[in-house]
Structure 1
Amino acid sequence: MKRYLYLWHRWLGIFLCLLMVLWFVSGLVMMYVGYPKLTQREHLAHLPPLSLEGCCVPLKQVLAATGEKAAPASIRLTTVAGEPRFVVRFATGAVAIDARSGKRIDSVTPAEAVAAAQPFAGERAVHFQASMQEDAWTHSRALDGDRPLHRVGLDDGTLLYVSGRSGEVVRDATFTERTWNWLGAWLHWLYPLRGGGLDRWWSDAVIYLSAAATLMTLLGIVVGLLRWRFAAPYRSGARSPYKGLARWHHIGGLLFGGLALAWIFSGLMSMNPWRLLDSAVPLNLAPYQGGALQADAFSLGPEQAVSRFNAMGLPVRELHWRLLAGRGYLLGVDNTGASAVLAMDASAPQWGLDEADVLRAAQAIRPEDVPTVERLTAYDFYYYARAEHSMTGHLERPLPILRVRFNDPASTWLHLDPRTGALLGRMDEGQRTSRWLFALLHSWDWLPLLQHRPLWDGWMWLASLGGLLICLSGTVMGWRRLRGRRPVRVSKQTRMHPSSV
């Protein structure tokens, strides 16, 4: 039995150790440079104040112009290329409507893409590059509702991607981000397999390679423990029977093998393999909104709303149409992300909603339930912020928030913003399990480390270098094994006197 443990570990290592070296190196890069994204903060910072002169067509006309029968997921009034534009999102993607004429925008030309990118460029020259469905920096599924994309270049090497549906800039990728990402996220997530003939197999490839690497690492720990002499040393006086590079591999595996196993296994869990972490009965959140986003719920026009927001000292960059338990209101947002709300049955906007109204809307999700409500004024294990370049850094994490825990079959938690009524996140049992098995073990998202970055950096570097020691030594030994043993050099004296051997 032991022989098979050794053989499985050896041959899995020969085929996978180099891949794991790449995973550890790219992981170190991702600690400081993430995959390109456009955050909400960046988006708002480049928008001018809403100019509604000669605007806007009624909301009913806007929704009719979309040509969609389904209810929209969101309605937003923003500025694109200097002109006010409604962006209505459905499950199938974004639909843009000219706010002055009420006409649907079916396509975005290269010239319009350049004009949309200009506010992001400042003094930098802008030039159109290409139209495409996807490239190395736009693999994210979050962009599916905006494809095709127009790629626009700036003279400092920055790339801007403009939605072919709404005309908005939806992603930016600086020269520095792209350069480091060839060794970072692009490599770490095996994105060389994306965008071509192998794209359909990408997810399976990541899952099965991660599973095989997990098995290899686990077997290595078992073999390492079996070969280590705890009670009595070998004849040489050493606890390990190996010498040279193999000794480094053995001792390194015993010291850092557990961390390497945690990293590889948690990487596997990030893919939610075979839908293991999905909820069998997800909670229906539709009652929280209390109805479909329809024009009848909004009696106030954008011009009046913007005027009232400006009067209270909020220079509005965007307007959002929202429903809370069937009650319509408009959310005004400035270029810093600050916001205020204007209910349709109120005469003046306010800086936030009444928490009691938000909780009543949450209660409507499960009227038969008595949820547990917690008001968070500080981050905790399940609700926390990450740096913008990280995977979840684009998610808004304001404080204070309301955590509402339901007694549904999936034990769902909701995180609600009491100021805007926004649903900031939902966590059922599977997602909370993922928090432990992926975010904690893979990124070490643990507040005592995150809030004291030198400690987090030191821990990640130490563990990564230990993993590299294991994988680099394994790669070299695997290469030597594949090449075969080098011939033994026989000295001249031995050839002349073979009896001395």
Structure 2
Amino acid sequence: MRPLVKRLKRWLYLGHRWLGIATCQLFVIWFVSGIVMMDVGFPGLTEAERRAALPGLAWDRVAISPDAALATAGLTRFPRELRLAMLDREPVYRMVAWDGGQHTVSAADGRLISGIEADVALAVAAHDPRTVQPRLAGEVERDQWSVTARYNALRPFHLVALGDRENTRLYVSARTGQIALDTSGTERFWNWLGAIPHWIYLTPLRAQAELWRDVVLWVSGIAIVGAITGLWVGLLRVRVRRRYASGSISPYRGWAAWHHLGGLVGGLTLLTFVASGWLSMNPNRWFGPRAPTQAMLERYAGAVEPRSGLDLARVRAAACPDLAEVRFGWLAGEPRALLTCREGPPVVCCAPSSGASEGEGARIVEAARRLLPEAALTGAVLLTEEDAYWYSHHQPRRLPVLRVTFADPDATWFHIDPATGEILGRADRSSRAYRWLFHAPHSLDFLFLLRRRPAWDAVVWLLSAAGLVISVSGLVIGWRRLR
């Protein structure tokens, strides 16, 4: 067996050597870009930014009912979203169908809006409070910042530069006229050192979602093998009791010693980061979806017919002076509207029973039973503070939130806004496992750290530094080997 063991060790050392030459470059990129991502995320339009750019709703120009608008759009079911807002100076109904299709109908004359010109996009962008000297910067079909499929129904975009100090650019949909995305100069610069290399987010590759997913899985999978072999070799070569002639526990000197000893200290950290990153891509679809299905949402709403069930005059009477948007919907077969004002949370109106705080929670719980009618609802708990599964990190979480739990085979939870009835998230057993297998080890999403920042920052910097010692030293000795 001794010759076989010797041969296997030889292959282990050679395997790690060449895997390390290939993967240490990736490790350096991932650790440096991960540090950047601690403070600069990938560009996206926040709800606060979207709301701030909405003009006040011109009720005096609203002449078309929501039901008429639904008929004009040709929808046969009540859509995922139905909103009344402004397109510059014209009120419009915006609809998102269940297949993701976007429809815009004028609330002034009932015409179907299938596209907008550049001058209208410029006027839309001018309502953004950050605007200083807006100018058109061209038309974009797909670029580095709008590469993902979520924007497909809105393409192409009129790109508008606001002329502000942050060099902000807005992406205004040439189909619907709504602002879909904003980017600042700071975000665009730092993301080339952050999210883009970290996620291998190159536009031609990311535009092909399945190909990109496969590339990330394979690249990170190979990196995992490189990390495992390195940890194994490091343990084989260390001597604690019977030390080497130099008195050291490592036989190496210089950069190789830094690589060996750094790997002993931080190798498990490196392996944890890369393995959890691999899991983030949901290999083999092990983790379930985190959003409710169409069937769940329609049962929760209790209505599928394409009608709002509300009188616009009553909605207008309940509106705040600075109303920017109305969102129509249903809850347990009861029509309702969410009024979005400039300040404060959305206000619920205008069904016969809405407006009374007592009983609202009971109505939401009763509607929630319809989400999974085949399973018993086992609990409804109002969370007033964050816990291990509902917490803010890079994105804020609404509080209080109602958590309803079911006795189905997946032990499903739903998080619901108790004020509006909106379903904010779904979590089954697999997605809760994902929270501990990806978010916890990869982003260090532990409440005891997140609540004590900058303790979280210090720990991430320390672990990243350990990973950089391993990867930079490996890069140096790998380059020397290649020479």
Tell me whether the two structures share a fold, i.e. TM-score over 0.5. yes
Aligned to 1:26: 33
Q: Which moved more, 1:96-105 or 1:114-123?
A: 114-123
CA apart distance, 1:200? 5.7
What whole-Å deviation, never above 9, does each CA across 1:60-83 have from its counterpart, x for those lacking one? 210011134454111011122132
Distance 2:481 2:207 in 1: 33
CA contact (8 A) 1:14 1:479 kept: yes
**What is the deviation of 1:474?**
0.7
Displacement of 1:353? 7.1
| Alignment partner, residue 465 of structure 2 | 465
- Measured after TM superposition, the shift of residue 131 of structure 1 is 2.0
Gaps of 5+ in 2: 1-7
Q: Please list, as runs of the form range in 1=range in 2, the aligned pairs for 1:65-144 lying within 5 A after superposition.
A: 65-90=72-97, 91-120=99-128, 122-144=130-152
Equivalent residue runs for 1:407-418 within 5 Å: 407-418=407-418
1:291 to 280, 287, 303: 303
Distance 1:9 1:476 in 2: 15
**Correspondence for 1:476:** 476
**Which residue of the partner structure matches residue 440 of structure 1?**
440
Q: Secondary structure at the match of 2:69?
A: helix
Give the Cα–Cα distance (whole angstroms) in 2 for the partners of residues 400 and 197 of structure 1: 38
Q: Deviations over 1:147-177 (max 9, x none)?
A: 2222111224211101223211111101111
1:119 partner SS: coil
Q: Classify the secondary structure of the residue corresponding to 2:45.
A: coil
Amino acid at match of 1:112: V
SS of equivalent to 1:247 = helix
Deviation at 1:10, TM superposition (A): 1.2
Match of 2:345 in 1: 338
Q: Provide the C-alpha distance between the structure 2 equivalents of 1:335 and 1:207, rounded to a whole number of angstroms.
A: 43
Amino acid at match of 2:360: D
Preserved contact between residue 77 and residue 320 of structure 1 (Cα < 8 Å): yes
Q: How does 1:377-392 map to 2 (within 5 A)?
A: 377-387=384-394
Question: How big is the shift at 1:191?
Answer: 1.5
- CA apart distance, 1:140: 3.0
Secondary structure of the residue that 2:235 maps to in structure 1?
Answer: helix
Tell me: CA distance 1:132–1:278, structure 2 relative to 1, closer, same or farther (3 Å).
Answer: same
**In the alignment, is the contact (CA less than 8 A) between 1:139 and 1:195 conserved in 2?**
no
Q: Deviations over 1:416-453 (max 9, x none)?
A: 11110000100012211111111111111111111111
CA contact (8 A) 1:41 1:337 kept: no
Alpha-carbon distance between aligned partners in 1 of 2:357 and 2:156, rounded to the nearest angstrom: 38
Give the corresponding residue for 1:252. 262
Distance 1:351 1:194 in 2: 51
1:214-259 deviations in Å (ceiling 9; x for gaps)? 1111111111111111322112211011111010001111111111
Counterpart of 2:4?
A: none
Distance 1:421 1:197 in 2: 35
Q: 2:12 aligns with which of 1, 5, 8?
A: 5
2:128 aligned counterpart, secondary structure: helix
User: What is the CA–CA distance in structure 2 between the aligned matches of 1:453 and 1:83, rounded to whole Å?
Assistant: 46
**Structure 2 counterpart of 1:363, one-letter code:** R
Q: In structure 2, how many angstroms separate the alpha carbons of the residues matched to 1:327 and 1:431? A: 31
Q: For 1:151 and 1:337, how far apart are their aligned partners in 2?
A: 30
SS of the aligned residue for 1:453 comes to coil
Could you tell me how far apart the structure 1 residues matched to 2:197 and 2:337 are? 43
Secondary structure (helix, strand or coil) at the match of 2:61 reads: coil
CA distance 1:124–1:320, change in 2 (3 Å): same
1:225·1:254 contact (CA, 8 Å) conserved in 2?
A: yes
* 8 Å Cα contact 2:61/2:90 also seen in 1: no
- Dislocated runs of 4+, deviation >3 Å: 68-71, 193-200, 348-353
Matched, 1:161 2:171: yes
Q: 1:144-223, aligned counterparts within 5 Å?
A: 144-156=152-164, 157-192=167-202, 194=204, 201-223=211-233
Using a 3 Å threshold, how does the CA distance of structure 1 residues 208 and 54 change in structure 2: closer, same or farther? same
**Aligned ranges 1:311-350 → 2 under 5 Å:** 315-346=322-353, 349=355
Match of 2:365 in 1: 359
Residue equivalent to 2:253: 243
Change over 3 Å in CA distance of 1:92–1:476 after alignment to 2? same
| Partner Cα separation in structure 2 for residue 358 and residue 216 of structure 1 | 51
Residues 1:401 and 1:199: Cα distance change in structure 2 (over 3 Å): closer
Structure 1: 5+ residue runs without aligned partners?
388-392, 484-501
Shift of the 143–414 alpha-carbon distance from structure 1 to 2, 3 Å rule, reads: same
How many residues end up aligned between the 2 structures? 469
Question: CA 1:428 to 1:74, structure 2 compared with 1: closer, same or farther past 3 Å?
Answer: same
SS in structure 1 at match of 2:151:
helix
Which residue of 2 is the match for residue 371 of structure 1?
Answer: 378
Alignment of 1:291-310 (within 5 A): 291-292=303-304, 294-295=306-307, 297-301=308-312, 303-310=313-320
Question: What is the alpha-carbon distance in structure 2 between the residues aligned to residue 352 and residue 385 of structure 1?
Answer: 29
Question: 2:421: which partner in 1?
Answer: 421
Structure 2 equivalent of residue 489 of structure 1? none
What amino acid is the match of 1:185? A
- Normalising by the residue count of structure 2, what TM-score does the alignment of the two structures yield? 0.92
Q: Percent identity?
A: 38
Residue 401 in structure 1 maps to residue 401 in structure 2 = yes
Query: Does the aligned pair in 1 maintain the 2:169–2:183 contact within 8 Å?
Result: yes
Counterpart of 2:42 in structure 1 is 35
Per the alignment, in what secondary structure is the counterpart of residue 382 of structure 1? coil
